[in-house]
Amino acid sequence: MNTLLKTEEAIKFICSFILIYLSGFPAWSFFAWILAPDISMLGYLAGTRTGAMLYNLFHHQGIAVLIAVLGIFLQNREIQFAGILMFGHSSMDRMLGYGLKYPDDFKHTHLGTIGEGAKKI
């Protein structure tokens, strides 16, 4: 099942790259900005609860889709780009085993615990 889920996320990552390209943005812009949503980890400076909330806001695929659709509706290419990029970034993270965070610990995610010898939930 783990391989199937990672494959699904890889396909979503590739599709987000294709959407960026088909939207008229240069292909390099996807890779130049792909780590931008990780700026949300700065929320952990205010504590794990705030950090998890901010991190999850920037890594939630539903929110990413809403932002992309809002960009299309408003005919604002930058908002559309941000939504597609957020979706691609969260797919990449999930493909690598990083999930949405619980408020108790950065390593405690909806996909299990991150790290060596971590117990998968």
- Which tens digit of pLDDT belongs to each residue from 89-104? 999 999 998 989 999 9
Q: Which amino acid type is present at position 111?
A: L
Could you read off the pLDDT of 24-80 as tens digits, one per residue?
999 999 999 999 999 999 999 999 999 999 999 999 999 999 999 999 999 999 999
- Choose among 70, 39, 69, 68: nearest CA to 55: 39
β-pairing verdict for 112-113 and 101-102:
unpaired
